[in-house]
Structure 1
Amino acid sequence: MTWCLNQSMLSPVISTIIVLCLLSIHSSIAENLPRFQHRLKAQQTSLNFLVVGDWGRKGNYNQSFVAHQMGIVGENLNIDFVISTGDNFYEDGLEGVDDPAFYDSFVNIYIAPSLQKIWYAVLGNHDYRGDVEAQLSPILRQKDGRWVCLRSFILDAEIVEFFFVDTNPFVEKYFTDPEELEKHTYDWRGVLPRESYIAELLKEVDSALVQSKAKWKIVVGHHTIKTAGHHGNTQELEELLIPILKSNKVDAYINGHDHCLEHIIDKESGIQFLTSGGGSKAWRGDVKPWDEEELKLYHDGQGFMSVQITETNADIVFYDVFGKVLHTWRITKEFKSHAYIQFA
């Protein structure tokens, strides 16, 4: 099932019907992943979007400053949408659909005209510590038509397909570590039994990637896979998700979780690992050693990322809290057109 969401916001009634349908679909992960479609405008040659993660702190920890710079860059690039890499609401998600934090951390913070586009969001570990169903509820979309948050889904943007993956159930310590369970309570409704959820999700993601005909394939999740930052590599994702990314020649994995900006290129596969988790509180100060050939950027601070994609190029730019460009990178692909051979 495919839903097309463009710049014009749907009416609350239609939005409710659509999201209710989507929620009923993804409540059973065994069915195909929900699919959204973003159509490029006539004569549009590039897809432009911003990525921000780990942001929801009611404007504090420079969240408002990052939002302001996002608005400026978003206008300059005429962005199509925004991607959130999770930890949307601190410290413990939302308490319910009427939690004022939805306004205090989202609606009333990202007010720039250029940011009044669809926000495609995944859940972070902090989001699972609250009423996780609240962030998935169609009621939030009635409150602000930009908000699209599901556990796992696909966004088809013609030249690129995005595969949003709920990485939280993969992390073993959230379920078994006594210290973690003593400090935090997680809302695992819709996830248990964990083993079958993970197995079916991996199957669905792999199948969707195999079937994809898009020029570019990008996977989005909350947790790090390769990082020199505070949390380190997520072993479960290294073991279970990376083989799928490699076998399907995924171009990039975009995540948050580490409160930094980071760019790592895997020497073996060429996959770009892009961390955009500087939406608010940052500066951990505990950077791990990393192969200099792979690590292209590590900024232990706040900021966000922009991406412009055409048929042949993907231009990645990282910005700090003041809007200063920290790092740029271009990925180039050969344009493959049909070849006709004439025999004498």
Structure 2
Amino acid sequence: MKLKRRQFLFLSSLSTVGTGVLALTLAHQHGETNLVELATAATPAKKDLLLRFVSVADTGTGARGQYAVAKAMTLYHKRNPYDLVVLAGDNIYNNGEIEKVNAVFERPYQDLLKQGVKFQACLGNHDIRTENGDPQVKYPGFNMNGRRYYTFRRNSVQFFALDTNSNADWKNQIPWLERELSSSDAPWKVVFGHHPIYSSGVYGSNQAFIKTFTPLFKKYGVQLYINGHEHSYERTRTIDGTTYLICGAGAGNRPVGRSEWTGYSTSNLSFAAYEVYPDRIDVSAIGTNHRVFDRGIIKSSK
């Protein structure tokens, strides 16, 4: 059957549209969505959004990988504004030298810092190699205000930053954490530190941390623990009410496996983004290609 030119062009356009829809459908089925494509589409206003923030760790190299993740964080900020970054340790490689802070923090994130985005840091194992990390604790850009462990609140979310290093003040830190958790009336409680509790990466799960922290998290309704140290991304399924999320591929990466409690894991360079609502936290893992490669939902424990 011969087709007139107008009929042929019409059918060709339908085929092109169909291919695009199929591609987007397959991308959604695999949990991967292009942020630029989403930004060009009309989306409903998120009227009940309480807070948006991101997290990243093991960043402080000043090398190409860090800049690639920082660029992705900046693009995400343009499409989905946020003013808080949880910086989960190893902020300055290799030995925590504060004189490198311009090269490994201020320059890579200058676009975000100029727009008033606040980084809340904790100390990693590399950070304590120089003066036990004290210069970083006092550095204004990390917003630790001279404290190695501390808490702050944003809207309905209370954050608890920990020093998880082996030489931390464990005698006082654990009782402090329990006091702060028990007295908090925040609907959402987020704890972050550098070292993993559950992990399928190079270092694996920390049995001592599981014994120390998980009973507290369960007792006081901590819904999310964020960490680095493993240079990979891993989101667990909910374990006794808590989701454990590793976002340590902020500049470099290492292999990661899977465990029976793993929701998603990959070694892709990436950061994690969180949208907090009254009844849930939506988690998106975003790579340097600006694609969302994992989505998770953390439900309220109330």
TM-score category (smaller protein): 0.7 to 0.9
Alignment CA distance shift 1:113-1:233 (3 Å)? closer
Letter in structure 2 aligned against 1:274: L
Give TM-score scaled by structure 2 length.
Answer: 0.79
Q: Quote the RMSD (CA, aligned, Å).
A: 1.9
* Mapping for residues 26-175 of structure 1, pairs under 5 Å: 45-58=49-62, 60-94=63-97, 96=98, 99=99, 101-113=100-112, 116-131=116-131, 132-137=133-138, 140-141=139-140, 146-149=141-144, 150-169=147-166
**Is 1:315 equivalent to 2:282 in the alignment?**
yes
Alignment CA distance shift 1:289-1:314 (3 Å)? closer
Letter in structure 2 aligned against 1:246: K
SS at match of 2:143: strand
| Matched residues, number | 252
Letter in structure 2 aligned against 1:148: N
- Check whether the contact 2:49–2:275 (CA below 8 A) recurs between aligned residues: no
- Check whether the contact 2:223–2:298 (CA below 8 A) recurs between aligned residues: no
Tell me the CA shift for residue 289 of structure 1: 4.5
The equivalent of 1:176 in structure 2 is none
C-alpha distance in structure 1 between counterparts of 2:257 and 2:53, whole Å: 29
C-alpha distance in structure 1 between counterparts of 2:48 and 2:280, whole Å: 14
Tell me the CA shift for residue 300 of structure 1: 1.1
- Check whether the contact 2:268–2:287 (CA below 8 A) recurs between aligned residues: yes
C-alpha distance in structure 2 between counterparts of 1:108 and 1:300, whole Å: 25
Tell me the CA shift for residue 61 of structure 1: 4.4
* Unpaired stretches in structure 2, ≥5 consecutive residues: 1-46
State the identity %.
27
* Unpaired stretches in structure 1, ≥5 consecutive residues: 1-42, 170-187, 192-196, 337-344
- Check whether the contact 2:156–2:187 (CA below 8 A) recurs between aligned residues: yes
Alignment CA distance shift 1:326-1:266 (3 Å)? same
The equivalent of 1:22 in structure 2 is none
- Check whether the contact 1:47–1:80 (CA below 8 A) recurs between aligned residues: no
- Check whether the contact 2:161–2:192 (CA below 8 A) recurs between aligned residues: yes
The equivalent of 1:300 in structure 2 is 267
C-alpha distance in structure 1 between counterparts of 2:159 and 2:148, whole Å: 14
Superposed CA deviations along residues 273-304 of structure 1, whole A, max 9, x for unmatched, are 0111111011x23x34411xx21110112110
C-alpha distance in structure 1 between counterparts of 2:81 and 2:174, whole Å: 34
Tell me the CA shift for residue 214 of structure 1: 0.6
Letter in structure 1 aligned against 2:59: W
SS at match of 1:62: helix
C-alpha distance in structure 2 between counterparts of 1:319 and 1:279, whole Å: 11
Alignment CA distance shift 1:202-1:113 (3 Å)? closer
Letter in structure 1 aligned against 2:137: L
Determine which structure has more spread, i.e. the larger CA radius of gyration.
Answer: 2
C-alpha distance in structure 2 between counterparts of 1:324 and 1:165, whole Å: 30
C-alpha distance in structure 1 between counterparts of 2:60 and 2:233, whole Å: 17
C-alpha distance in structure 1 between counterparts of 2:227 and 2:88, whole Å: 5
SS at match of 1:244: helix
C-alpha distance in structure 2 between counterparts of 1:295 and 1:254, whole Å: 15
- Check whether the contact 1:50–1:74 (CA below 8 A) recurs between aligned residues: no
**Is 1:248 equivalent to 2:217 in the alignment?**
no
Superposed CA deviations along residues 257-279 of structure 1, whole A, max 9, x for unmatched, are 10011100244x03100111111
SS at match of 1:317: strand
C-alpha distance in structure 2 between counterparts of 1:90 and 1:113, whole Å: 21
Letter in structure 1 aligned against 2:259: W
- Check whether the contact 1:61–1:281 (CA below 8 A) recurs between aligned residues: no
Tell me the CA shift for residue 129 of structure 1: 1.1
Higher share of residues assigned helix: 2
Letter in structure 1 aligned against 2:58: D
- Check whether the contact 2:48–2:278 (CA below 8 A) recurs between aligned residues: no
